[in-house]
Amino acid sequence: MELKNILKQVEVVFPFEKIDTLVLNEKYTNNYYGASSIGYKIFHSNSGSVHMALSQDDTFKEEDYLAQVLIIEKYLNEVSNKVIKVLELGCGKGFNIQYLASKFDNIQFIGIDITKEHLKQAIKRNELNKNVSLRFMSFDDFTFEAEQFDLIFEIEAICHSVNQKKLISSIHNLLKKDGKFIAFEGFRNTFERSISADENKLLNYIEKSMAVAKGVEIKEWLEDFNSIFSNVEANDISFKIVPNLKRLNILSGKYFSKLSFAKFINLFASEKLVMNAIAGYLMLYSVENKYHVYYHIEGKK
């Protein structure tokens, strides 16, 4: 189906002007994840993941939600005798920290998030892990002292930052010498491309429906990251999220296929919750056509 026709299906239910004029800030993000929590559990991951699954083949499997964490686990296994303190930016429901803390009881794990509902679930999930500390804190306004973490990682969280340059600098500042930052994140890939009105709609529909004010260009972000981090590795692994996106596309397609059904659902469900259907429906097209990309990035202080 052509992009114009795909967008028409979405626009009948969610007029673009309404989505495009949303005022996105930390309060909105907090409310978005709180309202979307039940939807993520039912349609995304019953196990508590709020990030994309990375599949090694063409088939989505529930255990693929652990793929990012397994990469971090592999790194910690290599350096566990040197690592004392780890920080997760945007710890969500505690899915990642719970797994890692249970594997490395000699390491202190700290997770921060601005969604109170998620933190409540994360605290309950990690109540038996004595090496876990969870805090309500924005990564745009850290209150940690400098040079105290051996590893900082994030999985699809920093897209919500309002100042990426400042955040990159702050992360670098919080790391000890030789400390590492690991990120799994989605970006725009439209630098120096001529974007049509429909393509602009596509980008904004996806990002704003997930409480992202504006996607960051991968080229610009890597330039900023490379300017202060060393030993940088950046790999486009977009193909690994495609099986997950196909699944979400099918689920969301059922919602958009019948206008009366979509409008009936909208009468009873939270607007922030049902808007997830927009990203679920459009992201497959965007990633397959390289408007959005998904990267695994590592850098050392």
Cα(97)–Cα(79) distance, integer angstroms:
17
Nearest to 65 by CA among 188, 155, 160, 152: 155
DSSP secondary structure letter of residue 150: E
Looking at residues 7-36, what average pLDDT do you find?
94
Alpha helices (H) along the chain: 3-13, 16-20, 26-39, 67-79, 95-103, 116-125, 164-174, 197-209, 218-228, 242-257, 259-268, 271-274, 276-288
At 285, which amino acid appears? Y
Residue 192 has pLDDT above 90, yes or no: no
Lowest mean pLDDT among 166-170, 235-239, 261-265, 295-299: 261-265
For 114, other C-beta atoms within 10 Å of its C-beta total 20
Q: For residues 258, 264, 270 and 275, what is the CA-based torsion angle, rounded to 10 degrees? A: 20
CATH code assigned at 185: 3.40.50.150
pLDDT band at 170 (very low <50, low <70, confident <90, very high): very high
**Residue whose token pair is 């999930």:** 125
How many structural domains comprise the chain? 1
* Residue-level pLDDT at 275: 95
Mean pLDDT of 112-117: 94
> pLDDT for 68-91, tens place per residue?
999 999 999 999 788 899 999 999
pTM above 0.85, yes or no: yes
Query: Residues 173-189: what's their mean pLDDT?
Result: 98
Residue listed under structure tokens 């950046």: 234
Residue 179 belongs to what domain range?
A: 3-300
- Report which residue type is found at 197: A
Distance, CA of 256 to CA of 277 (rounded, Å): 8
Q: What digits encode the pLDDT tens for the residues 28-74? A: 999 999 999 999 999 999 989 999 999 999 999 999 999 999 999 99
Q: Are residues 202 and 287 in contact, defined by beta-carbon separation less than 8 angstroms?
A: no
172 against 264, higher pLDDT: 172
What's residue 11's pLDDT?
96
Pairwise CA distance, residues 72 & 100, whole Å: 8
State the DSSP code for 217.
B
